[in-house]
Structure 1
Amino acid sequence: MFTGIVQGVAQVLALQDRSGLRSLRLQFPTGFGEGLEIGASVACDGVCLTVTALPAPDQADFDVMQQTLTLTTLGALVPGSRINVERAARDGAEIGGHPLSGHVDVMGQVVEVRQPENNHVLRMALPAPWMRYVFAKGYIAVNGASLTVAQAQRERDGSGWFEVWLIPETLRMTTFGDKTVGAAVHVEIDRSTQVFVDTVRAALDEKLGPLLPALERLLAQQGLSLDELQNPPAQLGAASQKA
């Protein structure tokens, strides 16, 4: 498990392609690798990877399966690429963000970057059906960082966009300052929100059954959708990376 509080930025030192997988060698910030062991988990841009070798202090090797390379941005990494990293949470450690599994749900895309004074705003698009799990003031993980959704908008086809506002400290500790329009990002949905939404949808389906299509048509005439009937309560609390 991870907390979503990025602990630094690692740099890709080398890549080696083998049958069915690619090996990555990462250079971590000074001190990041202290006590790190082979078999330990590290979130790399939000993707949970296992340490396979420790060639030097603050360096580690990871094997990435072909499916992971295909479904994430890890397949596009080259020597010199920078990624967010976080070591696995320890028992009893403070969770400054929100619990993350390190399993990416979907790829989002940066569609707008704004820079008001002392802030940095990223707007990211998500495909259907993932926007049904994104709500203003709720949690979301982008490239392994726990963030608070500032605004969100769903379209009738189930797609949509959301915005996050980033403070200078978040930009210092992550790669978000490098992201430009068109950049792909990893998104992990907050599991508690997903369970809430899916439970409500299942209950509606069970109770209403054949009436659901008619209800959806009626809501559509009013510019609404079923997803808008199941908005969970806004989640409170914010960490430094949930600005």
Structure 2
Amino acid sequence: MFTGIVQGIAIVDEISAVPGLSTFSIRFPENQAHNVTIGASVSIDGTCLTVTRQEGQNLYFDAMQETLRLTTLGKLKPGDRINFERAARIGDEIGGHLLSGHVHTTADIVAIDRPENNCTIEFEVPQAWARYIFPKGYIAINGASLTIGDVNDNRFNVHLIPETLRATTFADMTVGDRVNIEIDSQTQTIVDTLARMGYDRPPS
């Protein structure tokens, strides 16, 4: 499990691909790769991957074809920056909301507004996932736990403070970029339960 509090930014050093599988060598900031065990889970842009090897500050991860297809990892290239979070431990503070690291879908950035000391990013999700997105609800975008702002049909926005921009890759993003989305599990459960009872969410 993860908390959605991004611990830092790492850099993709190398990607090697064989049929159906890609191996990522990702360079972590100094001291952030200490005490990582083989088999540990790490969130890479919101996608839970397993550490397969370590060489100094570089951790290695394998991603299957299905993972590459369903997430943005298949578009990564050497030099790209990614958000990371190591798995939460019992007793850790849950500063965001509980995440599984299982990406539900992707979203496209359709607008960015950057007034002084603020940043608002608007996203568009596939219509099928819009039913789980509510104003002031939780959502994870590239592994970061964020509060949803305004919602209009299958579009929504988030408002980012300077600290979030400093600690994540959101400051790098431009219109047209694609991000990983994990829907809040409690929201999904409630919406699906109400739908089975005949109380489906009305159209926006």
Question: Fold-level match, TM-score > 0.5?
Answer: yes
Q: Paired residue for 2:79?
A: 80
User: What is the identity, as a one-letter code, of the residue corresponding to 1:164?
Assistant: V
Identity rate, percent: 52
CA-to-partner distance for each residue in 1:94-149, whole Å, 9 max, x for gaps?
00000000000011000000012211110000112101100001000000000000
- Residue 201 in 1 paired to residue 195 in 2? yes
Are residue 174 (structure 1) and residue 202 (structure 2) matched? Answer: no
Matched residue, 1:210? none
1:35-50 → structure 2 map (5 Å cutoff) = 35-50=35-50
Q: What amino acid is aligned across from residue 200 of structure 1 in structure 2?
A: L
Structure 1 segment 18-97 matched on structure 2, within 5 A: 18-56=18-56, 58-97=57-96
**Other structure's SS at 1:130 match:** helix
Query: Any stretches of 5+ residues in structure 2 without a counterpart?
Result: none
1:5 aligns with 2:5: yes
The code of the aligned residue for 1:28 comes to F
Which consecutive unaligned segments of at least 5 residues does structure 1 have? Answer: 155-159, 206-225, 230-243
- Number of aligned residue pairs: give it: 204
More strand by share: 2
Mapped to 1, the partners of 2:127 and 2:85 lie a distance apart of: 29
Alpha-carbon shift at residue 228 of structure 1 (Å) = 3.9
Q: What does residue 201 of structure 2 align with?
A: 227
Q: Deviations over 1:8-54 (max 9, x none)?
A: 01101111112320100000111111111110000000000000000
Structure 1 length-normalised TM: 0.82
**If the length of structure 2 is used for normalisation, what is the TM-score?**
0.97
Indicate which of 169, 176, 185 corresponds to 2:179.
185
| C-alpha RMSD over aligned residues | 1.4
Give, in whole Å, the separation in 1 of the partners of 2:70 and 2:89. 28
**Deviation at 1:88?**
0.2
Provide runs of 4+ in structure 1 moved above 6 Å: none
**SS of aligned partner of 2:201:** helix
The amino acid that maps onto 2:28 is F
Q: Which residue of 1 aligns with 2:145?
A: 146
